Amino acid sequence: MKYLKNVSSLKFFAEKCTNCLVCIDVCPHEVFKLKNKKVVVADKDLCMECGACALNCKYGAIAVNSGVGCATGIINGMLTGGEPSCDCGGSASSECC
Amino acid sequence: MDENINILELCKKPEQIEKAKRVSSEWSRSDYSGSIKCRISNSFRMKYKIKPGLYAVGEPDANSEVFASANYKLSFDVLRKALSGLSAWILVLDTKGINVWCAAAKGTFGTKELVRRIDGVKLGNFLNHRRIILPQLGAVGVNADSVFKRTGFKVYFGPVYAKDIKAYLNAGRRKTAEMRKIKFSMLDRLILTPREVIPAMNKFIIFAVIILLFFGIQPTGILFKSAWVYGEPFLLLGLASITAGSFITPVFLPFIPFRSFALKGWITGILLTVPVIFLFNSPELKNILIFSATILFFPMASSYLALQFTGSTTFTNMSGVKKELKTALPVYLISAVISIVLLIIYKLHKLAVI
């Protein structure tokens, strides 16, 4: 299953990549793959912006604007003027996921 | 003599090992019923927690593997069940009762908490190795390099699913491509639908009261009979929208055209709204004002509900949902306002005010 085309904020800086493969190890959607012994982005549209790759890349070769991809969370964020949050209902005590 | 003392020292189990709580890999009846209840009730799920700390499955020793988990009891239960027949340690982090993936996104299943727990239970004091296996999805919150630098423990991101742990260990802590992939089967989606339908039904109660009042108001006062006779088709249309947006769209997700959840929900919504309108064939629904309001409102309600499901999927991203909302929210608001205006005009006309 794929979500909207060309919306993921994933950025891959090949020149910083050392091919340590940690991104391939942590990505749950096979966004990265090895091509001629080099890491490449196989399909950006598969990226769900979870941020696991960017967090674990020691070399700063990946940047992604990660966050909750949840409509309720984003609407909550809009209403409270803050970041999208998956704490349903807006109060700190009622967390949903 | 010296040798004997050394052996005795070695045989003495370190305090940490004695302190670790022993758990079975078997599920009890209450574990099974809990696993169902937390899919249905939000309040039950939020309290379905265990105490963070070190647990032992089987008879682990200084060479056994350590697995990290969340203190959401279902996450912990799934892990210990997958470890049946093995002897291992489970280090439970304090994720405030939230599952690994969501907690990792929130940062509670994160580098800081992992380091704190490793230090807290003095993991390094009684192990002969420096490995800790995390669920792969924990990588969203845990920086393996940082954990290594701060504790000396090397983080291994294991398989996404606990059921693959044995195969992963047998392969020498190596994952196949399949073990890395998150799935989202029809059954997975079906299990998530109560969490969509139940909140929608709570909103439906408010909707029903408004509809019944609207049709009940007559020149002679509020009449229960006319409320029911005229209101019934709209209550069913409301239920049809919930069925379409919160149940059919999630379950049949990949089979519904378009990638946008708002569009998917609108399609299932219109597919259910139209037959219900024709099924009733009531004079009310033949009124152009009511008909237009109905066609406008109910598929849109389904679209809105379907968009909520983005929060439960394993593949939607924030940028995409933001993009959808940018168009969908104004459309929802305008459609809702137009529907209400149409209904008010109809009602005023009916009451012979205009």
Identify the CATH number of the domain in which residue B28 sits.
3.40.50.11600
Residues written for chain A: 97
Which residues in chain A are contacts of B322 at CB distance < 8 A?
Answer: 74
In angstroms, what CA-CA distances link B42 with B189, B196, B247?
17, 11, 18
Could you tell me the sign of the dihedral formed by the alpha carbons of B308, B312, B313, B315, in that order? Answer: positive
Specify whether B217 is located in the same domain as B82.
Answer: no
Q: Are B223 and B214 in contact (CB under 8 A)?
A: no
- Do residues B144 and B206 both lie within one domain? no
Q: Which residues of A touch B (CB under 8 A)?
A: 1-5, 7-9, 22, 24-30, 46-52, 55-56, 58, 65-75, 78, 84, 86, 94-97
Average pLDDT over every residue of A71-88 = 74
Given this model, what pLDDT does residue B281 score?
78
| Residue at B112: amino acid letter | K
Q: Is the pLDDT of residue A28 over 80?
A: yes
Q: Last residue of a domain, which of B160, B182, B204?
A: B182
Q: Which residue has the higher pLDDT, A14 or B1?
A: A14
Tens digit of each residue's pLDDT (9 = 90 or more) over B259-300 = 999 999 999 999 999 999 988 878 888 889 999 999 999 999
Look at B318 and A25 and tell me if their CB atoms are within 8 Å: no
Q: Is B158 left (phi over 0), alpha (psi -120 to 50) or beta?
A: beta
How buried is residue B59: exposed, middle or buried, by Cβ count under 10 Å (0-12/13-18/19+)? exposed
Whether residues B258 and B328 share a domain: the answer is yes
**pLDDT tens-digit readout, B94-147:** 999 999 998 998 889 999 999 999 999 999 998 999 999 999 999 999 999 999
Contacts of B238 (CB under 8 A, 6+ apart): B204, B207, B208, B211, B298, B301
Contacts across the A-B interface (CB distance below 8 Å): 138
Q: Do A84 and B182 touch (CB under 8 A)?
A: no
Q: Are residues B122 and B249 in the same domain?
A: no
Asked if B277 and B254 sit in the same domain, the reply is yes
- B299 and B276 within one domain: yes
Count other Cβ atoms within 10 Å, centred on residue B347. 16
Does the distance separating the beta carbons of B136 and A25 come in below 8 Å? yes
Write out the residue limits of the CATH 3.30.70.20 domain(s) in chain A: 11-63
B100 and B224 co-located in one domain:
no
Interface touch A97/B102, C-beta < 8 Å: yes
DSSP per-residue string spanning A1-66: ---STT----EE-GGG-----HHHHH-TT--EEEETTEEEES-GGG-----HHHHH-TT--EE---
B144 in the same domain as B30 = yes
| B78 and B206 both lie in a single domain | no
Looking at residue A79, what is its pLDDT? 80
Q: Which residue in B328, B236, B232, B245 sits closest to B284, CA to CA?
A: B232
Number of structural domains chain B divides into: 2
Structural domain range at position B43 = 2-182
Looking at the fold, whether B145 and B197 belong to one and the same domain comes out as no
How confident is the model at residue A89, as a pLDDT?
41
**A30 to chain B: which residues are within 8 Å by CB?**
177, 180-181
Q: Which of A7, A24, A28 sits opposite B182 (nearest CB)?
A: A28
Neighbours of B145 (CB within 10 A): 16
* Residues of chain B found within 8 Å of residue A7, distances taken between Cβ atoms: 317, 319-320, 323
pLDDT at A94 over 70: no
Q: Which of B137, B308, B317 sits opposite A3 (nearest CB)?
A: B317
B16 and B76: one domain?
yes
Task: Write down which residue in B182, B207, B225 finishes a domain.
Answer: B182
φ and ψ at residue B217, rounded to 5 degrees: -70, 115
Residue B284 has φ and ψ, to the nearest 5°, of -60, -45
Whether domain A11-63 has CATH 3.40.50.300? no
The whole-angstrom distance between B266's CA and the closest CA on chain A is: 16
8 Å CB contact of A52 and B145: no
Same domain, B223 and B262: yes
